[in-house]
Each structure stands twice: as C-alpha cells, then as structure tokens.
Structure 1
Amino acid sequence: MHDVVIVGGGPVGMFLACELGLAGCSVLVLEREPEPHSPWRRFPLGMRGLSAGSVEAFYRRGMLQALLDAAGVAAVPDTDEPALPRSVGHFAGTALDPADVDLAALPHRLPSPAPEGIMTSLDVVETVLAERAAELGVEVRRGVTVTAVTQYDETVVVEGGGREYAAHWLVGCDGGRSTVRKLVGFPFAGTEPQLTGYVALATLADPGRLRPGFNLTPAGMYLTMSEPGHVGVLDFDGGAYDRSQPLTREHLQSVLRRVSGTDVTLRDVHLAATFTDRARQATTYRRGRVLLAGDAAHIHSPLGGQGLNLGIGDAMNLGWKLAATARGYAPDGLLDTYTAERHPVGASVLDWSRAQVAVMRPDPHSRAIRSVVRDLLTTRAGTTYVFERTSGTSLQYDLGDQPLAGRNAPDFRLADGTRLGELLQDGRGVVLDLSAGRRLREATQRSGARIRYVAGPARADLGLGAVLVRPDGIVAWTGDHDPDLGSFDKALTRWF
C-alpha cells in the first residue's frame, strides 16, 4: 500500500509527487496517456508561461537550474539590487511594458536567482519534474484509466486498467474533466461559457493578411504567434461549437475569416482544438481521503496563462501538509488549511479570467469598458497591479496582521551568501534568527518541530529580527530583535 496515489501525471501531479517523495512518502502516479510526449505538450502548442511564483517554487526545491537549462533561459545575474521583471504579459489583449512596473510599490521583495517568470513548454516542465520524481523514488504507471474510487475509514482504493491500487490518500490531478472529481462527487460550481476558442497549427497560404499579436475585432479576437501558422481565435458564440461537432479545416477557416475580417486561406491544418471560458470550481478541495489540485479543482479560460501557475501553487501548498498528515506528525487541522488557503486564490483567478472575457466581448458596452480599462492598465500603477496579480507577488493568506505573515517569503540572503531559497530545498520549514539570539534556538529545540534553525545577519533584513517560514515558502510569523516567544510558540504549534 502507498501513502498517496496521484491520478494525473501532468505538471501539477508530478510537482505534488516530488513534494511527497521529498518528505519520504511512498507515492504512485497513475497517468492515462501511455506516452509522456505529444505535439500538444511540445513547443509551440505546449508553450506556457511560468510566473515568478512558479519559477520560485522550482528554485526552492533545487530544480531551478535544470528548468532554466531545459527551457534555454539565461540565469539571473547575481546582484543585491531588485531588477525589473522581464515580462508582465497582457490583460484582455492589452500588452503591458515591464519598464512601467514600480519597484517601490513592492516593499517586501528582494533579489532572487529565480527569474520573474519565463516562457517554456509543458514538455520541458514535465521532463524536469519526471527526472526529479525518479530520483525521489516516485512510481509512475502510464496507460491507466481510472474507473472507480472507493473510500474506507483508513484507506482509499482506486480501480483502473483491471487492477486495484490502495493508498491512505488519493489526489486527483487529472485535469478539467477530472474522473476523480466526478467519481467522488465533488460539487463543481461556476458560470457557463461566453465563447468558443480555437488554437491551431496550420499552413497559411497568405499569412501576411493577419496582423501579428493580439487583435480585437468587431467580431471577436484573433492571435498570431511568433511560430508561423500558430493561430488562436475567440468566437463569442456562447461556447456552442466546443466539442459539439468535428473541427474541420473549412470551419476553422470560416471562423478565422469572420473574426479577422480577412479572406485568409488555411491550406492545411496540422493540429487544432477548441476550448471555452467556462469557469467552475470545486466547492471544497477535500472529501474524506480524496483531494483535488490543479484543473481538477478549477477550470477557466486560458486568457492570461494562469492555469498552470495556479496548479503549481496548489501542489506547493498541499504537498508538505499532506506529507505531514500521511507520516503522522501533522498538527490538528493542518490538512484543512489547504482548501481554506487555496480556494480563495482559485476563485480570484476565475474572476480574473471572467473580467478579461467581459471586456473583450464584441459589443458597444464592452468596447466602452475596454477603452477605460486600457487607459488605466497602461499607467505605472496599472501595470504594477497586473504584475502583482499575475506573478503571485500579491498573494497573502490570512495568517494574522503582521505585514509579511501569509506572504511569499522574500529571498533573504545571509551575510555568508546563503539564501533562504537554498535552505528550503529539503522541504522543511526554516527559522531565520537574523538577530542571532539564543532564545529562538531554545524555543525551536523545545518544540521538537521538524524545522531548520539558522542564525546570522542578513544583507537586507527588511527591518526584521526573525522570520518563521513554512516549507512552501510562506511566512508564518515575524519578530523584531526582541521577539515575542509566546506568538512564536503559537505559530510553531499551528504549523509544525
């Protein structure tokens, strides 16, 4: 019997598997697809943007260099000065300039070796994670389609491929049409689609007829990528066409012509698919011994590229909590904080997606709103706001009224050059005693917590004397140079 069975071997499932394996759990991943690579996962169709928060997650688990090498991305120069992000992305087709990000408005940010977001592909991400999972002893079985899930008091049994797999816990990371979610009966609430989206890799007879980049038109939106023939279209038909009938070259060409207002010709369509902006979310991420993460827990349109990043955030939040629960050393209620913390984040991303669709609709009211929104977002404050929302910089769980509590920890760099991100690579929490007193050391030792204590001054301490950081890199507590041991003990007891 395994500690945890994960259904779904995509980036979210594999990141979670690595988190559990790092903590010493026995993990089995069941993946429906028999082969790990496909054109839909490779560049250009598998192209994805990893936000600053997601890249930092790879950094904090010792996988940053492997990710950068596989993605062909240059390392960040070693500096003690904050740098502008390389990209901010867009909102509803309005591209934003990273030079307009106001660094002074991001007071809890320190330089880090992790880039502020990179472009890569699903194939690259999954390859890096698969190699790490293998090092950690994670077992992966491909070509297994799950058909039944049965929960008992202490175990859960998964049926698939003519076999049964027993574990103490099950996590569904099996995508937007999650079999686990349906079999276990998770309520999945939300809103119906406004559009059918199309993505295709095609040969165009006359590519010059289409303008590059995002193009909002009186009939919808179309997008041409840097890769020749890689096109996307949004048709505001209420989602009527999605998976309702075969996707032919003739239909795709007709939609592209109507939305673009051109007579462009598709000579051949090599790969094509549809999607919608349907936005739904499980009302809870846990039912008994079964949990959900990634698209299994929430679906929305791909506008803004938040889906993969939201899922990696789920895995980073859940991994150490589920590991502590499975290994028997979790404090009471720890696993319940997964839904409590991540559900509001998912709801916020769904609304971010809905907002973009609302201002892109091809009607006079939406066009009027879009004009106002564009003017606001292309200001310095507006660009900074979008960067905070899409990079994860604004993330803050409700962990108290301390300014840094619940936030992603800055990458404190100690006087000897050691960084906080490096201290988190074994998956344990960290006490940073920046004032180098003995009281916190003694309190940590008395608690018996599975946590690393590190003392010494930092090159930039942001005015703090001590910081307690959870294994997922979230600040659980801060203290001054004469810290309150009572509040420190409460934080330790709550999380460790």
Structure 2
Amino acid sequence: METDVIVIGAGPAGLTLAAELRLGGADVVVFEQRGERSWESRGIGFTARATEMFHQRGILERLENIEVTRQGHFGGIPIDYGVLEGSHFGVRGAPQYKIEEMLENRAAELGADVRRGYEFTGFTEDEDGVTVTVRGPEGIEEHTARYLVGCDGGRSTVRRQAGFEFAGSDATREMYLADVRGCDIKPRMIGELRPNGMVMAAPLEEGYTRIIVCENGASPDRRREVTFPQVADAWQRLTGDSIHHGETRWVSAFTDATRQATEYRRGRVLLAGDAAHIHLPAGGQGLSVGVQDAFNLGWKLAATVRGTAPEGLLDTYHAERHPVGARLLRNTLAQGTLNLTGKSVEPMRAVMAELIALRPVARHLSGMVSGFDIRYAIGAGDGAGHPLLGTRLADRDLELADGGHDRTARLLHTARGVLITADATGAAAEAAAGWSDRVDVVRVKSFPAGPEEGDAPTESVLVRPDGYIAWTAPDGGDLQAALHHWFGDAG
C-alpha cells in the first residue's frame, strides 16, 4: 500500500482527520478537487465543544481575532451558555477559510500529504485495501491505501460511489447569504422574524457583514446561480432597506435539506462531516459536528492501521457518532420551524422563550447545541453509573503529586490516552504500565471536582485520545479491562 489512509476532501473535517491520523502514527494522503484553498467565508464560527477540542490539541490560539461568546440561541431564541459551568464557549468571527488555513497548516506540520487539483472518480476494494482513482494535473492516477474516508461534502462522490444510503427529506425552503460592506446594516445576530420571512446580520472582519435572507414561499432550486441583486431584492422586500449599492465578496444559497447516511462505515470506506450528514445550518453545528466526527474517527482508524486496535474498535465510530448526527438533524429541523416559518410561529416562540428562561431547559438545549451533553455508551464493567463515564473531560487545573500544576487540556495535545490518578498506593499506575506506549499516566494529589460529577467521588479517570472518559475510579470496573477494551493488548 502506498499509504495507510486516503481522505477525499480538504474541508474542516478532512483536514482535522488528517492531523489526527498523523498524531496516531498513520500515514495519510488528502486529495482535494479545488486547485487552491477556498477564500469564501462560509461558516463563521463553531460551537463550544469544537472550541474545547481545538484547545485540547493546542491549536485554538492559532485563530487570531476570534470572539469567544457565551451568547447562543435555539431557533432564534436567545440562550446564555453561562448555564454550563466551567466550560468553553462558542467562537464566532472565524470565517471558514481561516479555519481551513489553520487546519491545513497543522496537518502539513504533522506530515500529512495534502494534494490539490485532484478529482476523485472512483475506487475498488479488496480484502487488503482500496485502490482509488483520481483525475489530477497529469491525468488519471491510481493510488492504494488500507482505508478510504469520504470528507467530500454534502454531495459526496465517495458516498455515492460506495453505495451508502442517504436517507432523509428534500429541501422545502431556500435561503440566500452574502458578505456585504458599504451599507449601514444593523446587527441581527440571531435572526429577526419579518411578516414574510426571516433576516439575519452579523459583523465580519474588514467591514463586511454576513447577511442571511429567508423569504417564505421561495422554491429551492440548486441549479439556479444566485446573484447579489437577487439577494438585495429579497432583503429589501423583507426589511424595506436597500443594500443594492453594497460591495459583496461572496454570495451563495442553502436549503433545509436534511439527510444522514444510514451507516458511517462500509468495509474499508468511511464517511465523516457533511458527507455523512446534511442539515439546515444553525448555530455553527455543521462544521463543529464534522470536526468532532474526525476527532472520534482519527485515533481509532490510526490504531487500526497500526495493528494495536482491539477487535471492533473501528465499529464504535458509527455506534457513537451516528446517534449524534441523528440528534443534530432533529434539533436543526426544530430550529428551522421556530426561526424560518414567519409570524405564524410567534405563539410557539413565546412558549419556547418561557421554557428557555427555566435553567434546566436552558442547560438541556445548550448542552444539545454545544455538544457538551454527549455521553457515549462506555463501560467495560459495571461502571456505567458514574456521572463522568462516557462524557467529555472538561478543562481543569491539576495539582500534580510532585507539587507542580498542569491542565487537563494540555495533557491531550499529543492525542494519546491519559490516566489521571490520585491513587496514593500507585496501584492504578502500575496496572496501566503495560500500555505506556499508548497511555500516559499523570499522578495528582486529588481529582478536582466539577459540576459534571454532582456528589459522586472521583479518584481516577482514564481518558481516550478524543477527550472522552473511558473508565473511572471508584465504580468504573476493572482498569485493565478498560485499557484492553479501548487500547488493545498490553505491550
């Protein structure tokens, strides 16, 4: 095989996956159809869990001039994410081209081979690997790898060629968007309902404003090329204001088409990001869930090609991420109903606003949209009841056993497993010694309590490379069983 993994698509999911594979010791080649990186702004931020995961890899600070905000919304109804104690918040003001530039530089630094100007045309698969055909600058080429991953967007050629079913619903409405400057446009950060639709406006860099226009009754037509005069006409019909004199750098359209691959893996072919799920853009969730797919898949696929993965590890990618994608589709459909149906939905919005004012409801919806409420079905013993098991490890200050200090996020920079233990006897550290090539042991004076545990005591936690807790003490079962379950045989 020429390489371990071929990734098709150099968007956020594909580039994140490439970096994660390299951190896990796998070789990877990324083929991207575009000859150069896109400079379209597209998504302009990401959710709190994506923020946290970028921080856990030590790359969040590479994005300059971003705004970290605790303000969010559900279907245009404001939510204060401050109800989620001790967490990162979402990022806005980060155009997608800047995110992709950061991720591509990171992947290249780690040794990923990103090749632009190569169109994926097909593949064959046998018991040993895949042979991928691409059309490049020199014509048709064939390349071999152990696995193929489609990160090539909502119209994924990999998904279609591999025969994945893409179940869901067709578009019922179309929305325009544009980046405009030279106009006096008041901010409408979470959308403003108008008698016949919805408008949104958010400031960007260099004096630009992102506007979104959803006009009731607009029939979706993906074949139609959208022009700025069309967007400006719709804006004026809904707001009464003319922006026709503005300067625009990007105009596009999107719909509420909602679909999900029924499986994320077929043999040696896997899907991640928009190739696996499409939905109404709402709150930066599309990019965010896509990169979280990549964080979940990367370490598992790398361990598989290295030969250290336990049996069935790669299948947990679909088992864990497919339910997350399904829930994403449900919440974006619900938000579309609340935010894009016009004045007729005002009674429902009023009731929802009353509910969101209740702290438990705000926590529930914030956790859903942010990705903080994900709890994977993890447990190699009888420890499924501990509040931390299967949840993310929040960033916390650690007082080390030798008197120093560290942060939990920094421990995950290298994408290895981590055992954080306050076991003074050293038994936990000794039990993990056989996995020292894959799992770091960090001895602390105590495990700092956080709001996630409630009153449950915590002495030690085993953390997977993607930042999710795979074992706890007490009440987590046998540590070596958990280590074998997620990291394979001892060395």
Same fold (TM over 0.5): yes
Q: Any idea what SS the aligned residue of 1:71 has?
A: coil
Q: Which residues in structure 2 correspond to 1:64-75 (within 5 Å)?
A: 64-65=60-61, 67=62, 70-73=63-66
Q: Which residues in structure 2 correspond to 1:251-400 (within 5 Å)?
A: 251-260=230-239, 262=240, 264-267=242-245, 270=248, 271-362=250-341, 366-399=345-378, 400=384
Task: Name the counterpart of 1:132.
Answer: 106
Task: Name the counterpart of 2:486.
Answer: 495
Query: Counterparts of 2:102 and 2:243 in 1: how far apart (Å)?
Result: 39
The letter for the 2-side match of 1:351 is: R
Query: Counterparts of 2:252 and 2:105 in 1: how far apart (Å)?
Result: 29
Query: Counterparts of 2:320 and 2:14 in 1: how far apart (Å)?
Result: 19
Which piece of structure 1 moves more, 383-392 or 301-310?
383-392
Match of 2:52 among 51, 56, 69: 56
Task: Name the counterpart of 1:476.
Answer: 470
Asked if the contact 1:12–1:312 (Cα under 8 Å) also holds between the matched residues in 2, the reply is: yes
Which piece of structure 1 moves more, 156-165 or 432-441?
432-441
Is 1:2 aligned to 2:3, yes or no? yes
Query: Counterparts of 1:286 and 1:351 in 2: how far apart (Å)?
Result: 22
* Structure 1 residue 122: Cα displacement: 1.5
CA deviations over 1:20-48 (Å, ceiling 9, x no partner): 1112211101011111142x1xxxx3452
The letter for the 2-side match of 1:306 is: Q
Q: Which residues in structure 2 correspond to 1:35-46 (within 5 Å)?
A: 35-38=36-39, 40=40, 45-46=41-42
The letter for the 2-side match of 1:475 is: I
Task: Name the counterpart of 1:96.
Answer: 79
Asked if the contact 1:199–1:274 (Cα under 8 Å) also holds between the matched residues in 2, the reply is: yes
Which piece of structure 1 moves more, 306-315 or 243-252?
243-252
Asked if the contact 1:16–1:316 (Cα under 8 Å) also holds between the matched residues in 2, the reply is: yes
Q: Any idea what SS the aligned residue of 1:301 has?
A: coil
Distance change (3 Å), C-alpha of 1:364 and 1:89: closer
Q: Any idea what SS the aligned residue of 2:324 has?
A: helix
Distance change (3 Å), C-alpha of 1:73 and 1:235: closer
Task: Name the counterpart of 1:77.
Answer: none
The letter for the 2-side match of 1:468 is: L
Is 1:21 aligned to 2:22, yes or no? yes
Task: Name the counterpart of 1:82.
Answer: none
Distance change (3 Å), C-alpha of 1:159 and 1:460: same
Query: Counterparts of 1:64 and 1:304 in 2: how far apart (Å)?
Result: 19
* Structure 1 residue 137: Cα displacement: 1.1
Distance change (3 Å), C-alpha of 1:479 and 1:417: same
Distance change (3 Å), C-alpha of 1:429 and 1:218: same
Query: Counterparts of 2:413 and 2:406 in 1: how far apart (Å)?
Result: 12
The letter for the 2-side match of 1:71 is: E
* Structure 1 residue 229: Cα displacement: 5.2
Query: Counterparts of 1:265 and 1:453 in 2: how far apart (Å)?
Result: 59
Asked if the contact 2:421–2:459 (Cα under 8 Å) also holds between the matched residues in 1, the reply is: yes
- Aligned CA RMSD, in angstroms, stands at 2.3
Query: Counterparts of 2:133 and 2:154 in 1: how far apart (Å)?
Result: 20
Asked if the contact 1:31–1:144 (Cα under 8 Å) also holds between the matched residues in 2, the reply is: yes
The letter for the 2-side match of 1:32 is: Q
CA deviations over 1:320-344 (Å, ceiling 9, x no partner): 0000001111000000000000000
Identity of matched residues, %: 38
* Structure 1 residue 458: Cα displacement: 3.4
* Structure 1 residue 392: Cα displacement: 2.0
Is 1:443 aligned to 2:431, yes or no? yes
The letter for the 1-side match of 2:57 is: R
Query: Counterparts of 2:44 and 2:287 in 1: how far apart (Å)?
Result: 8
The letter for the 2-side match of 1:61 is: R
Q: Any idea what SS the aligned residue of 1:308 has?
A: helix
Asked if the contact 2:5–2:145 (Cα under 8 Å) also holds between the matched residues in 1, the reply is: yes
Distance change (3 Å), C-alpha of 1:2 and 1:216: same
Asked if the contact 1:204–1:229 (Cα under 8 Å) also holds between the matched residues in 2, the reply is: no
* Structure 1 residue 125: Cα displacement: 1.7
TM-score, with normalisation over the residues of structure 2? 0.88
Query: Counterparts of 2:342 and 2:313 in 1: how far apart (Å)?
Result: 47
Counting matched residue pairs gives 461
Asked if the contact 1:281–1:298 (Cα under 8 Å) also holds between the matched residues in 2, the reply is: yes
Match of 1:233 among 191, 206, 213: 213
* Structure 1 residue 401: Cα displacement: 2.5
Is 1:452 aligned to 2:432, yes or no? no
* Structure 1 residue 215: Cα displacement: 1.2
Distance change (3 Å), C-alpha of 1:489 and 1:193: same
